[in-house]
């Protein structure tokens, strides 16, 4: 078969298998799959679903830890003309049930150990037709299934599946469920074009190549986590799947496997910055999912030299938006960067007109990475995915862009600076305060390992500023007093915290590993609630 340009998701590993079938694709524990073996796994699953009569566009939910079977299920769903729905393995059964119900999943791929956890939830998932287990099913597993579900074993590699005709790059390929500040998680609809364009863009600016080894530490249900697969497969590189318990496990895995590229969220990098890295092969380290404080970037640069830092910003609704080239970090240390390849970033006023240079406005993204909206939620889709104003130069009539809800400013050279999320901005004393600006000041004190700022209701101020802090040193005395003194010296009066909550352990995370601000806010509200 001759080489071809990939335009459907499953073409990525297939093309790599054509070029280098024996090259390692996935490493999981002691198991290594080359590209030929991975494609055989995908063929077997796709054949199973096509011969079973799975309808085109059916949703296939995957609730597994990172493992080769989970990866194969995602790409086999594409081969079968279905839509994969990766579910974070850390979610609780009721949260899994919500995603199964909301997506209308016809198939659930999981393990025998996980299936009994859903015994009370599956009867409500009336559209679920089949549960596919990746391992042998103990007797207890069968009893967890409602009558309308069939139980199947994960098929062994087999001949190539019959073709699923008629697929196009604009067909729906994946639903990635993302949590907002309010409401239940919503499914972001990603097309094959979204995923392929994202892989090509990221591989271009990260300069990925076939001899790279990427560590998949983030959940595959997180866009940046799944991107480790698509980016690596687009160039024929290998991916190490890691289900880590402690940050130290990541350090060891990087040394053991010769990892050359590592992408993580800011809270994880803050923990990794405090560890010793006796040896590593990192060519780059990348941040996504939130601002990485300047002090942490400098720590990582010192520990991980000569690896190049790549700071990225994006949202699940459009994958990536900006990146800061490593050579710009010293010139623009707090910038979120410029638009990634094949995307355009606009900063618009409330009336839809472009902001002047350095004028704050809403970040809006257009191009092939913009998702198709939220699954089964026209109202919220209409809020976030909207047509660009016709007057904007270069925009097609009626083109849909994603309005991020993030306030940024862009300089005359196209570099952006994050100011805050509209739903996280603190309104106090008539001012709008960015949590990131308060947090940056706290990190600059060197007294803080990690922190989060947010607003609490206040009758006089509207909101008062509270911060949750894990001190840099365990058992340190007078940290709160020292931090308040530092803030008085470095921040204007309206930006100074009114309350500091100390945490001996790392701050709580949500399922994607980000600091869980709603949980911290709720805990402080409960702590300060009037007692009966």
**Token code pair at residue 217:** 């530490």
Render pLDDT for 445-477 as a digit per residue (tens, 0 to 9).
Answer: 999 999 999 989 887 777 899 999 999 988 777
The H or E element spanning position 238 is strand 238-241
> What pLDDT score does 192 carry?
97
**Token code pair at residue 451:** 């922190």
Paired strand residues for 456: 464
- The answer to whether 524 and 466 are in contact (CB under 8 A) is yes
Q: Classify residue 498 as exposed, middle or buried by CB count within 10 Å of its CB (0-12, 13-18, 19+).
A: middle
pLDDT at 217 over 60: yes
Residue 299: band (very low, low, confident or very high) from pLDDT cuts 50, 70, 90: very high
> What pLDDT score does 80 carry?
96
Q: Where are the alpha helices (DSSP H) in 338-384?
A: 378-384
pLDDT at 142 over 80: no
Residue that is written with structure tokens 């995370």 in the block: 509
Residues 299 and 398 placed together within one structural domain of the fold: yes
In a domain, 298, yes or no: yes
- CA separation for the pair 479, 471 (Å, rounded): 7
In a domain, 370, yes or no: yes
Residues 112 and 146 placed together within one structural domain of the fold: yes
Q: What is the DSSP string of 146-163?
A: -TT-EEEEPPPP-SPPPP
Q: What does the DSSP 8-state code read for residue 33? A: E
Per-position b or e across 154-166, b if 16+ CB within 10 A of its CB? bbeeeeebeebee
Residues 454 and 340 placed together within one structural domain of the fold: no
Of residues 107 and 490, the one with the higher pLDDT is 107
Residue that is written with structure tokens 């309206």 in the block: 494
- The answer to whether 336 and 416 are in contact (CB under 8 A) is yes
Residues 273 and 396 placed together within one structural domain of the fold: yes
Residues 94 and 117 placed together within one structural domain of the fold: yes
Mean pLDDT across 150-172: 82
> What pLDDT score does 182 carry?
44
In a domain, 15, yes or no: no
Last residue in a domain, options 359, 394, 421? 421
pLDDT at 295 over 60: yes
Last residue in a domain, options 383, 402, 421? 421
Residues 354 and 275 placed together within one structural domain of the fold: yes
Domain of residue 417, CATH code? 3.40.50.12780
Render pLDDT for 72-91 as a digit per residue (tens, 0 to 9).
Answer: 999 999 999 999 999 999 88
Number of domains present in the structure of the chain? 3
Q: State the first-to-last Cα distance of the chain, in angstroms, to the nearest integer.
A: 75
Paired strand residues for 191: 172
Q: What is the pTM of this model?
A: 0.84
Render pLDDT for 45-80 as a digit per residue (tens, 0 to 9).
Answer: 999 999 889 999 999 999 999 999 999 999 999 999
Residue 223: band (very low, low, confident or very high) from pLDDT cuts 50, 70, 90: very high
> What pLDDT score does 181 carry?
43
> What pLDDT score does 526 carry?
77
For residue 289, the number of C-alpha atoms closer than 13 Å in the C-beta half-sphere is 25
Most confident residue range from 148-162, 208-222, 416-430, 493-507: 208-222
Residue 250: band (very low, low, confident or very high) from pLDDT cuts 50, 70, 90: very high
> What pLDDT score does 128 carry?
96
pLDDT at 4 over 50: yes
In a domain, 288, yes or no: yes
Residue 293: band (very low, low, confident or very high) from pLDDT cuts 50, 70, 90: confident
> What pLDDT score does 280 carry?
95
CB neighbours (10 Å) of residue 332?
18
In a domain, 196, yes or no: no
Last residue in a domain, options 421, 444, 459? 421
Three-state SS string over 195-240 comes to: HHHHHHHHHHHHCCCCCCEEEECCCCCCHHHHHHHHHHHHHCCEEE
**Average pLDDT score, the chain:** 90
5 — alpha (psi -120 to 50), left (phi > 0) or beta?
A: beta
Count of helix runs (H) and strand runs (E) in the chain:
14, 26
pLDDT at 531 over 70: no
Maximal CA-CA distance, the chain: 75
Residues 433 and 416 placed together within one structural domain of the fold: no
In a domain, 59, yes or no: yes
* Long-range contact set of residues 418-421: C-beta below 8 Å, sequence gap at least 24: 418/291, 418/313, 418/336, 419/360, 421/181
- The answer to whether 502 and 524 are in contact (CB under 8 A) is no
pLDDT at 101 over 90: yes
- CA separation for the pair 147, 123 (Å, rounded): 8
Which of these, 431, 405, 436, 440, lies nearest to 419 by C-alpha position?
Answer: 436
Structural domain including 53 reads 33-167
Q: Classify residue 326 as exposed, middle or buried by CB count within 10 Å of its CB (0-12, 13-18, 19+).
A: middle
Residues 230 and 376 placed together within one structural domain of the fold: yes
- In percent, the amount of the chain with pLDDT more than 70 equals 92
Residues 217 and 293 placed together within one structural domain of the fold: yes
Residues 474 and 493 placed together within one structural domain of the fold: yes
> What pLDDT score does 298 carry?
94
Render pLDDT for 356-385 as a digit per residue (tens, 0 to 9).
Answer: 999 999 999 999 999 999 999 999 899 999
> What pLDDT score does 532 carry?
42
Which of these, 311, 302, 297, lies nearest to 277 by C-alpha position?
Answer: 302
The 3-state DSSP class for residue 6 equals coil
- How far lies 6's CA from each of 364, 409, 420, in Å? 28, 36, 37
In a domain, 449, yes or no: yes
- The lowest-confidence range among 105-114, 281-290, 367-376 is 281-290
In a domain, 183, yes or no: no
Residues 298 and 404 placed together within one structural domain of the fold: yes
Domain of residue 473, CATH code? 3.30.300.30
The 3-state DSSP class for residue 404 equals strand
Which of these, 528, 449, 451, 459, lies nearest to 497 by C-alpha position?
Answer: 451
Residue that is written with structure tokens 């840099």 in the block: 472
* Residues whose CB is less than 8 angstroms from the CB of residue 516 and which lie 6 or more positions away in sequence, other chains included: 507, 508, 509, 510
Q: What does the DSSP 8-state code read for residue 230? A: H
**Token code pair at residue 105:** 């999943």
Residues 512 and 403 placed together within one structural domain of the fold: no
* Residues whose CB is less than 8 angstroms from the CB of residue 50 and which lie 6 or more positions away in sequence, other chains included: 80, 81, 161, 162, 164
């Amino acid at each position: 078969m001759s080489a071809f340009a990939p335009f459907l998701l499953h073409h990525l590993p297939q093309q790599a298998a054509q070029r280098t079938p024996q090259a390692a694709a996935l490493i999981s524990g002691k198991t290594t799959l080359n590209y030929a073996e991975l494609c055989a796994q995908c063929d077997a699953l796709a054949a199973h679903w096509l011969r079973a009569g799975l309808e085109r566009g059916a949703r296939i939910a995957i609730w597994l830890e990172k493992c080769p079977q989970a990866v194969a299920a995602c790409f086999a769903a594409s081969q079968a003309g279905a839509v994969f729905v990766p579910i974070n393995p850390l979610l609780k059964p009721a949260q899994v049930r919500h995603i199964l119900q909301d997506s209308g999943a016809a198939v659930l791929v999981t393990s025998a150990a996980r299936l009994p956890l859903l015994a009370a939830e599956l009867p409500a998932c009336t559209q679920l037709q089949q549960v596919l287990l990746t391992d042998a099913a103990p007797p207890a597993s069968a009893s967890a299934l409602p009558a309308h579900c069939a139980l199947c074993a994960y098929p062994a590699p087999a001949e190539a599946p019959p073709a699923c005709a008629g697929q196009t790059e604009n067909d729906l390929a994946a639903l990635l469920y993302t949590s907002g500040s309010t409401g239940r998680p919503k499914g972001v609809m990603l097309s094959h074009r979204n995923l392929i364009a994202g892989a090509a863009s990221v591989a271009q600016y990260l300069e990925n190549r076939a001899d790279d080894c990427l560590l998949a530490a983030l959940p595959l249900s997180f866009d940046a986590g799944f991107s480790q697969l698509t980016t690596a497969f687009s160039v024929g590189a290998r991916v190490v799947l890691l289900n880590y318990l402690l940050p130290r496990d990541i350090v060891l895995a990087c040394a053991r496997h010769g990892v050359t590229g590592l992408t993580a969220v800011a809270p994880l990098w803050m923990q990794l910055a405090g560890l010793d890295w006796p040896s590593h092969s990192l060519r780059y380290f990348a941040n996504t999912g939130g601002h990485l404080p300047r002090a942490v970037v400098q720590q990582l640069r010192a520990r991980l030299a000569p690896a190049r830092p790549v700071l990225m910003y994006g949202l699940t609704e459009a994958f990536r938006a900006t990146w800061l080239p490593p050579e710009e970090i010293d010139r623009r240390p707090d910038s979120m960067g410029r638009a990634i390849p094949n995307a355009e970033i606009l900063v618009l006023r409330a009336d839809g007109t472009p902001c002047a240079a350095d004028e704050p406005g809403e970040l809006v993204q257009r191009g092939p990475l913009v998702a198709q909206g939220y699954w089964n939620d026209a109202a919220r889709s209409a809020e976030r995915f909207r047509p660009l104003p016709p007057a904007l130069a270069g925009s097609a009539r009626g083109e849909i862009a994603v309005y991020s809800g993030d306030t940024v400013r862009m300089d005359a050279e196209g570099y952006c600076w994050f100011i805050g999320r509209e739903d996280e901005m603190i309104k106090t004393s008539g001012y709008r305060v960015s949590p990131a600006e308060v947090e940056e000041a706290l990190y600059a004190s060197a007294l803080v390992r990690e922190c989060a700022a947010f607003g609490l209701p206040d009758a006089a101020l509207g909101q008062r500023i509270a911060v949750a802090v894990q001190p840099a040193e365990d058992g340190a005395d007078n940290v709160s007093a020292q931090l308040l003194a530092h803030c008085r010296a470095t921040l204007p009066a309206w930006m100074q915290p009114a309350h500091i909550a100390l945490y001996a352990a790392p701050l709580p995370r949500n399922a994607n590993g980000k600091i869980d601000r709603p949980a911290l806010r709720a805990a402080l509200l409960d702590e300060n609630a009037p007692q009966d």
